[in-house]
Structure 1
C-alpha cells in the first residue's frame, strides 16, 4: 500500500515551460492584455472600414439630395389607410417640419408635398387617397381632418441612410467612412514624419553628446516653449488649408517628444560594450545608430509612436473644425463636426457620430499604447 518516495536529481533540474524570446514574451503579454486587444481590434476594423467602406457604400461622400436633407437615422412612423385599402407609411421630421414617405422595408421614398397650406393657421393638409391628414406646424402635431389625433405606429430605422443625412442631403455614413480615411491618412503620414525627424534628431544628439547634444536639445526646448497648437495654426495660415498643409504642420512640430525619448535611450545604450566593440572595429556613426542603438530602443519608440497617432487625429480634427484643415467638399471627422454644430439643437445625431468616432479611436490607440508599454517593459517579465 505504501511505497518509498524517490527523487530524481536530473528531473529536478528540468525546466517544464519552454523558454521565450523577448518578442515572443511581448506578444504573449500583449495578447493577454484585454483592453489592448480590444483597442487593436477596433483599429483594425476602423482601417478596413476606411479602406473598403467608401467602395462598398451605395452613396458617395459628395452626393447631395436636398429633398432628403436632415433625415434622421431613426424615426417614428405613421400609417394611413384609405377606403380602397391602400396604406401609406410616413414619418414627421420635426426639425424641418416635413413629411417623408417610407416603404415597408424602411427605405425613405421621398418628400411628401402638401395638397394645401394655411399660413394663417400654420397648417398643412396632405391627401392619402380619400383620407386627409393635417399637420399643425405650430404644435407639431398630426391629426385627421375631423380632429382625431394620428397615433404613431412604431419606430423604424432608416435603411436608405443608416446614419441619416446632413443639411445638404448627403449620407452621413458615407461621409463618416471617407472622413475616417482622410483623418487616419493624415494621422499616419504625420506620425511617420514625426518618427523620422524625431528618431534622426534624437539619435544624433544622444550619440554625439557634448556641445552638439547641448545645442540640439536647447533647440528642442525652445520649440517646446511655443504652444504647439498655436504653432500649427500659424503654419496652416501661412501655407493655406489642405491635406498637405495639415501633414506638414503636424509633422514639423510634434517630433520633439520622440527626439527626447530616443536621445535618452541612446545616451544609455552607447555606453554598452557592444557599441565600443563596433566603434573599435571601425563602424561608422550611421551604422552604429542603425544596426546597434536604434534596434535596442525600439520598445520606447513603438510606444511613443502609438501615442502620437491619437494626438495627430485630434489636431487634424481640431484644425478642420476651425476651418484650417481639410477643405470642403473633402470630408474628415473635423469637418463633419464643424458642419454639425450649426444644426446641433435640431439634429444632434450629426455631431454624435463623428465625435464618437474621434473619441473611440483615441481610446483605442491609448489602450494599445498602454498595452505595448507594459508588454515591452522588461521589469514586468515573469
Structure 2
C-alpha cells in the first residue's frame, strides 16, 4: 500500500508525458573508476605510491649528501635530541646535545642544524668522566652511571633546554655518518626498479605465456604448464644462491632471478581465465570469421580478463619488493655502498638497542609500501568486479 493519499493523485493533461528520473549511464570502466575513487584505503595507497615515486626520483637532487658520503665524526646522530645551553662569563652561549649512546657532544645552532662534534679535555677513565670547557665555564660529562649526565662545577646537573629536530640529517645518520634519509630514497629507487621489472616480466611473459597455454589447450597446454610447475618447485632463495655462483652479488642478480621465475603465478592465473573465456560465443564467432590466434588473444580474450590480471599484478609487486629486501638483508642483494631497504635493515639490526631509529625508517618504508600496494590491489579487485556494479 502507498502512503500517498488518493487526493494527491492527479491525471496529466492530455498531450503531456511523465518525466522519468534516471541516473546517467556509465560504462564499465567509468563505474570501476568511480568505485575505486570511493575506496579510501585504495586512494591512500595510490597517493603513497605516487609520493614515493616522486621522492625516489627527485628527492636525492635536493640533498647536499649522497648515499656514500661518510663522516665518522657525525656517526649515529638521532633525528631529534635534547639540547643544552651553556653561557660563559662573556655572555656567549653554546647550544649542543648529548648522544648518550657514544658519550659525544655535538654543537647545534638555534635552528637545529648540526655544526660539528665538540672536543673535550682528557678523559678520566677511572672516574668515567670528561670535562668540556665553554670559555670560563666547565661542564663535566659523567658516564659512571647510565644514563650519562652533564654536571656543572657546583655539582648540579645541567638540565636540557628543550627538544630540537635534526635539520641537517632529518632521519639521522648511520654508524658511518651517512645520511639515512638519502639512503632511504636510494633504497626506494631500487625497490621501485624491482617492482618495475616484476611488472614488465609478468606482463610480457606471464600474461602471454598463460594466454597461449590456455587458448591452445591439449598437449601444448600440458607441456607448457609442466614447465611452469618445474620452475615453481625451485625455491627462489636457492635459485638466487645458485645464480650467485655464476654472477656477482648485486641488483643485476636479483633482477635476473625475479625476471626468470616471477611470472609463473601470473601465467597460471591468466591460463585459468582464458580457459573459462574461450568457450564464449564471441570467441567462436571470431574464429568462424577467420581471426588468427594472436588476434583472438589480444583483441578478445586478454581484454576481457584484464580485471583479474591487473589485480594479480598489483598483488605481486609487493611480493617482488619483499623478495629484494629479504635477499639484501641476508647479503645476497645489492653490495655496499649501494643502499636498499634490505641492506639498511641488516645494518640497523646490529645497533638496534642503541639506535632504534636506524631500523625504524627502512622497516616502516617496507611495511607502508606493501600496505599501499595491497590496499590498491583490494580496491582494484572490488572496483573491477562486475558483481559490485550498480
TM-score, L = length of structure 1: 0.95
**What's the secondary structure of 1:168's corresponding residue?**
coil
Q: 1:6 — aligned with what?
A: 11
Query: Distance between the aligned counterparts of 1:230 and 1:69, measured in 2?
Result: 36
Of residues 107, 125, 135, the one that matches 1:129 is 135
Q: Following TM superposition, by how much is the alpha carbon of 1:218 offset from its aligned partner in structure 2, in angstroms?
A: 2.2
Q: Following TM superposition, by how much is the alpha carbon of 1:225 offset from its aligned partner in structure 2, in angstroms?
A: 2.9
**What's the secondary structure of 1:166's corresponding residue?**
coil
My pick for the range that moved more, 261-270 or 25-34, is 261-270
Q: 1:158 — aligned with what?
A: 166
Superposed, 1:300-379 pairs within 5 Å as 300-379=308-387
- Maintained 8 Å contact 1:237/1:324: no
- Maintained 8 Å contact 2:318/2:374: yes
Of residues 68, 71, 80, the one that matches 1:65 is 71
**What's the secondary structure of 2:321's corresponding residue?**
helix
Q: Following TM superposition, by how much is the alpha carbon of 1:327 offset from its aligned partner in structure 2, in angstroms?
A: 1.1
Query: Distance between the aligned counterparts of 2:106 and 2:138, measured in 1?
Result: 15
* Structural RMSD (CA): 1.7
- Maintained 8 Å contact 1:124/1:135: yes
Query: Distance between the aligned counterparts of 1:262 and 1:10, measured in 2?
Result: 51
- Maintained 8 Å contact 1:161/1:173: yes
Q: 2:109 — aligned with what?
A: 103
Q: 1:239 — aligned with what?
A: 247
**What's the secondary structure of 1:305's corresponding residue?**
helix
Q: 1:35 — aligned with what?
A: 41
Q: Following TM superposition, by how much is the alpha carbon of 1:273 offset from its aligned partner in structure 2, in angstroms?
A: 2.1
Deviations 1:257-294 (A, max 9, x none): 10111101111111122222222232221222112111
Query: Distance between the aligned counterparts of 1:183 and 1:265, measured in 2?
Result: 30
My pick for the range that moved more, 185-194 or 195-204, is 185-194
TM-score, L = length of structure 2: 0.93
Q: 2:152 — aligned with what?
A: 144
Query: Distance between the aligned counterparts of 1:72 and 1:350, measured in 2?
Result: 8
Query: Distance between the aligned counterparts of 1:195 and 1:238, measured in 2?
Result: 27
Measured at CA, do residues 337 and 102 of structure 1 come closer, stay the same or move farther in structure 2, by a change above 3 Å? same
Q: Following TM superposition, by how much is the alpha carbon of 1:235 offset from its aligned partner in structure 2, in angstroms?
A: 2.9
Q: Following TM superposition, by how much is the alpha carbon of 1:190 offset from its aligned partner in structure 2, in angstroms?
A: 2.5
Superposed, 1:262-281 pairs within 5 Å as 262-281=270-289
Query: Alignment length, in residue pairs?
Result: 380
Query: Distance between the aligned counterparts of 1:80 and 1:148, measured in 2?
Result: 13
Superposed, 1:16-55 pairs within 5 Å as 16-55=22-61
Q: 2:4 — aligned with what?
A: none
- Maintained 8 Å contact 1:191/1:251: no
- Maintained 8 Å contact 1:98/1:112: yes
Query: Distance between the aligned counterparts of 2:49 and 2:99, measured in 1?
Result: 35
